[in-house]
A and B are shown apart, each in its own frame.
Chain A
Amino acid sequence: MAKVTIPADQQAEHFQISPDYVRISMAAAIELGLKPGRIERSACDCINLLQNYPEGCYANCTYCGLARERPGMPEDNTFIRVGWPLYSTDLIAEKIAEREAKKEVGRVCVSQVQDHRANADMMEIVRRVHEKAPQVPIAALVSATLLNEAKLLEIRDAGVDIIGIGLDGATEEIFDEARGKKTRGPHKWDYHWEIIRMARKMFGPMNVNCHVIVGLGETDRDLFNLFFQLREEQIAGYLFAFNPEPGTATQDLPRQPLDRHRRVQLVKYLIENYELSPAAITYNEAGGLSKLDAPETMLDEAINSGLPFMTNGCPDRHGVMACNRPYGSYRPSEEYRDYPFVPNAEDVTIIRGQMRLDEVWAKSISAAQ
């Protein structure tokens, strides 16, 4: 049998595990001065941290760089394509405090992976950050499968004010195919919703968010139905653009066309901010958006603001979006999927061209007939 060895430069990381060590997003590492470099046209105002265990994550989501059955060692793999460097939790807490002393840190987010140590370690990481930087708001991006009511209460009592839950699939079927029983993964749709609603009750309106990936095989109808439901239950929906991760089961799945992504972003924004009615949307046989019946003034106001096309993310202590994840689901040389800043007039012109709204806007369709 071949002997499997870990490269010498990565052996230390095998033993540098949470809660004493955490991974940090590259953008946050740059922002805290832990890594050299700059962020194109943007800054990073949310320090995203990710638990680290040598086994990676025991879940098996088809699109994720940390999947249990992904080929290679966990430390070879990347989470969202760019490596997340590993540092001691205490060093990161000190850097957050240093940065907080100069300029407010918008938010810290601690992400769990599927591991039996994840809950206890989440508490300890939150404690260490708050010990050094007590005013910084902390969100927890949790694995619902690991939680119950008592554990959610512990997270709230530890000082976490926002809970994020990766639903990722817009429907039960997509969820099962991407994360659930069809992947031999541990996640269950119904239990995710149980935890989402439990957290919503405990943390309050819009303080719980569901992550939803556009491009896992769902229809527009699936997405919009979910957005209407989330609005009804006062749960925030955060969109992510599917971006194939090399080495994962979905590495050959194409990304969504940009026109679709732009329209999904726009309709979501109208549902959330203009109380768009389900009756304003018509679907084709495949469940795709075929007609959007919305007043021109509403559309112009929403589109020209640029806000529908920004990253969805948790707010800072003043209510301003902090978690902008710059270039998290596309390369900096590519067209923006979600903008990590408010798009300017030039960006909005580009967005309009990408969205091709005339193809589905009721007024254009009527005029063409």
Chain B
Amino acid sequence: MSNTQEFKIGTDLYSIPADRFYGRENHMWASFDHVTGNVTIGMDALGLAALGDLAYVSLQPAGTKVERGESLGTLEAAKMTGDLTSPISGEIVERNDLTVRNPALVNQETYTNGWLVVIKPSNWENESAQMVNVDELPAWVDSELKRYRQQGWID
């Protein structure tokens, strides 16, 4: 299986790498670090494509405890606001102030320097099992593209 799921919206090509987990509806990605045991969180390309170029990002500070589904902060594109909900429970141990200062980084370097927070997970095994994994990725991307198009969120 390819290690990246690619899709097109209009003429633009987007990718969703298969090396991490994805929130089924909130389009947050979660990447587990086997050395530290922490999880880096960001937003995936489809979620961002539906929002547009980000203009403002605010993130909860380090030390904040979050439950799965609770707010990690807010995202605001030029003409749209977006939810930023945590795909897992735990404590925020780091936030990416670079993205707060330069929100475009989230659009431009979505899976690398455009990460949002690092969380020390409290229930990773159970919660990651509820996220989209590598085997489910192609079908999930197809169904989400269909859902987004039906909603009129993307072309």
Contact = CB atoms under 8 A, between A and B. Distances in A.
A and B interact: yes
Contacts of B140: none
A34 to B, nearest CB: 9
A160 to B, nearest CB: 27
A326 to B, nearest CB: 6
Most buried by A among B9, B49, B55, B154: B55
B136 interface: no
Interface stretch (A37-45, A138-146, A281-289, A297-305): A37-45
A310 B76 CA distance: 22
A37 B155 contact: no
Nearest to A42: B79
B52 A326 contact: no
B130 interface: no
B59 interface: no
Interface string B116-155: 0000000000000000000000000000000000001111
B56 interface: yes
A331 B81 CA distance: 9
Interface in A118-164: none
* Size bin of chain A's contact surface: 10 to 19
A333 interface: yes
B12 A332 contact: no
Contacts of B80: 37-40, 332
A36 B79 contact: no
Contacts of A40: 79-81
Contacts, number: 65
A26 interface: yes
A27 interface: yes
A80 to B, nearest CB: 10
B37 interface: no
B81 A36 contact: no
Contacts of A333: 56, 74, 76, 81
B84 interface: no
A82 B155 contact: no
B51 A37 contact: yes
A38 B76 contact: no
Interface in B71-99: 74, 76-81
Contacts of A278: none
A14 interface: no
Contact of A38 (B56, B74, B79): B79
Nearest to A26: B78
A36 B55 contact: no
B78 A82 contact: yes
Interface in B1-54: 9-10, 12, 48-53
B53 A37 contact: yes
B9 A326 contact: no
Interface of B: 9-10, 12, 48-53, 55-56, 74, 76-81, 152-155
28 contacts: A27-B78, A27-B79, A30-B79, A33-B10, A33-B155, A36-B9, A36-B12, A36-B48, A36-B49, A36-B52, A36-B154, A37-B51, A37-B52, A37-B77, A37-B78, A37-B80, A38-B52, A38-B77, A38-B152, A39-B79, A40-B80, A40-B81, A331-B55, A332-B76, A332-B78, A332-B79, A332-B80, A333-B74
Interface of A: 26-27, 30, 33, 35-40, 42, 82-83, 326-327, 331-333
